[in-house]
Amino acid sequence: MRKITTLILLSALAIFADPTKQLPFTKELQVEELPWLAFDAKDNKGTYDKVINSNHLKELIKQKKYRRVVFSFFATWCTLCREGLKQISNNSAELKKNGVLVVLVNAAEKDLDNYSSRKIEEWVKKDGYYKEEFLLVFDKFSNSLEDFGLKKRNNNDEVPLPKTVIADENLRPLMLIGQEGDDYVQLLWK
């Protein structure tokens, strides 16, 4: 029984020992600037009615002098997403030092409202995936997945997570990542 348990654990660890899976750009990401973005975020009143769009991001990038922007698309039900979120969180100081803005994008939950957004925020914080310097945003209609070409339009069944899009300070796409490996975090600022 111990041998079987050991083999299962080693197999599970081997999944994350692989290099990060870089993907070719979709047609929608073969552009000089990411498609228009609009996410919901928490406002000063504690509701999730604030809109973060491309203009807001550009202003934040300029103010804080970020060199890279990482859009980490996740869902609470996505077990593979958790490894990438954990790596980002564990290396937040290094990411900050290297000028990386992390945008955690909840992109595939159904029926998002203020209550469910609050529950997702609690989940992200409780499991240690969130740091104060990160932006936590909600893509209530999964539009960004479609706009980035990561999901077919009007296909509610296909949710291709995890996905990470790395952009430069001008929101020009630099890399598309599928599954995170042991070199994932280093790719975010190189």
pLDDT band at 4 (very low <50, low <70, confident <90, very high): low
Dist CA 65 CA 151 (whole Å): 31
Choose which CATH entry (3.20.20.150, 3.40.30.10, 3.30.450.40, 1.20.1300.10) describes domain 19-187: 3.40.30.10
Q: How many CA atoms lie within 13 A of 91 on its CB side?
A: 21
Q: How confident is the prediction for the chain on average, in pLDDT?
A: 86
For residue 104, pLDDT over 90 is answered with yes
For residue 111, pLDDT over 90 is answered with no
**Among candidate residues 141, 112, 129, the one with its CA nearest the CA of residue 42:** 112
Q: Domain spans of the chain?
A: 19-187
Quote the pLDDT of residue 9. Answer: 47
pTM exceeds 0.85 for this model: yes
More confident of the two residues 12 and 128:
128
- Quick: pLDDT tens for 64-103: 999 999 999 999 989 889 999 999 999 999 999 999 999 9
